Every structure is written in structure tokens, then in C-alpha cells.
Amino acid sequence: MATYTDKTVWITGASSGIGEALAKSFAAEGANIILSGRRVDALQSVADQLPTDALVLPFEVTDYSVLESIVVNAWAWKGRVDILVNNAGVSQRSLAVHTAPQVYTDLLNIDLIAPIWLTQLQLPRMVEAGGAHIIAISSVAGRIGAPLRTAYSAAKHGLIGYMDALRTEVSGRHNINVTNVLPGSVATNVSRNAFTADGSIRGKSDQAIESGDDPMDCAKAILEAVASNTPELIFASGVELDLAKLRHSDPEKLFAMGAEIGAKISEQYEAGNDG
């Protein structure tokens, strides 16, 4: 694995889950870490555990009026950002037929528009610096249509599309590499913090998430993908990995399986068995 000594890595959603795991993993490889999120105490707790320099830079990802100044502060810290990790986001657990339109607007702002803004505001600096690496944490739900996640799937599909298109413009010409990461079930708070049909926070997790992969294992795979400049990493196993692969190899089979699985999950959800 490549060393990240003296590299500056900026991670959004860094207070827990995959973001926290990435902060610890990059720092263990010598990187200096910028930690962003909303919870200052949680970010500081992560910073206190790191063996390298860390900057706690809290902000709300959809507060677009302050993003430019946040970018200025991040780049001023060490003079550059070598790796940007767009990890902050929120998931969803609700059937489309019951979900308020505002939930779609709010979730798309958080999971799609916000990372696009944060990336766009740094592209000129990355070009001037002679290169960088952008990591976008999407999801297997960004490759397949996942039940209870219509807004989330839309945002994560969109994030992959933006990053894939961006790669075509900046990788060869400006040495700015882009890696899309598509995790399956990872043991984080993603389901507990998910939006429900009215936009409220769900407050409980899923069995699949609770028994999911260790975030540190996911972080290790991401560091390896960055070191090898892998354009896309699907970090999943079992049926999640199979479905993600079917999206290109046999889409008709995927759609048939999706309809069957979705009907079952939807019925269970409406019956109150949504864990």
C-alpha cells in the first residue's frame, strides 16, 4: 500500500462510521486529516485519537453560503488538499407512495448537490496544485434500485454519474483521480439516522446493517483502491454484490429479482416489520 505521509485528507461525515474509520486509517498511514461534520464534540473525539495533525472544521453541508469560506480555510491549513472524501450523507427508509416530496428535496440536497458543490469549489485549486484524488462514497443503492430508498437511490445514482463524468474531464488532463465507492451493508448508524416518510429521523437500525461489515475493513479497501487508482470499488458481498454486478451483466434478471425482493420488503414494511 502507498504511504500517505504528509498528505492532507479532507473527510466529510467524519464523526462516525466509514468517515471515522477513514480518518483513522489515513492517519495511520501518515496523513494529516481535516475532519468535517456537524457534531463538534464527536469530531474532536476522533481528532484526539489520531497520531497526526488534525483540523476540526465543522459545517452543515447544505449551508451553501459558507462553503466557499470553508474551502478557503481547509486549503489554508496545510496549503493543499490531496484527497477529498465526500462521505457525509443520509439514507432513507420509507415507501415512495407515502413519502412527502420535501423528503426528496432534502435528501438530494444532502447526498448529491452538497458533494457536487464542495467538489466544484475545489476543482480550480486542485488543477493549480497539479492534481488530487476525489473519493465519493455512494452505495450499492447507487447502482441498483433499492426498496424503501427511492430518494437515496436517486441521489447515489446521481453522485456516481457526476463523478464518472468528472473523471473523463480531469483525470488525464489534470491528474485529478476519482474513485466511486459503493458500499453494501456496513455496520454504521446509516439506518438509524435515515429519513422516514415525513422527514423525521428513523431512530432504529436494520438487522442487515447491524450484522454488516466492519467500517475499518471498508476503510482498508478504500485506501487500497486509492493507492491503485481504482475508478470504482464495490465493497459488498453476497446478494448485494450479485445484484450490483447484474446491473450491467444481466439487467433483465436484476429487474425481475428487484421486483420480487421489493414486493416482499414493501409488504413487510407496511405490516410494521421494518427491522
Return the active site residues: 152
Whether the CB-CB separation of 195 and 94 falls below 8 Å is answered with: yes
Please give the angle made by the CA atoms of 180, 77 and 163, to the nearest 5 degrees: 15
| Beta partners for residue 133, in sequence order | 83, 177
Whether the CB-CB separation of 244 and 236 falls below 8 Å is answered with: yes
**Number of neighbours of residue 159 by Cβ within 10 angstroms:** 23
User: How far apart (Å, rounded) are the C-alpha atoms in residues 132 and 159?
Assistant: 18
Whether the CB-CB separation of 72 and 41 falls below 8 Å is answered with: no
Alpha-carbon torsion, ordered 218, 220, 223, 229, to 10 deg: -70
User: How far apart (Å, rounded) are the C-alpha atoms in residues 89 and 68?
Assistant: 19
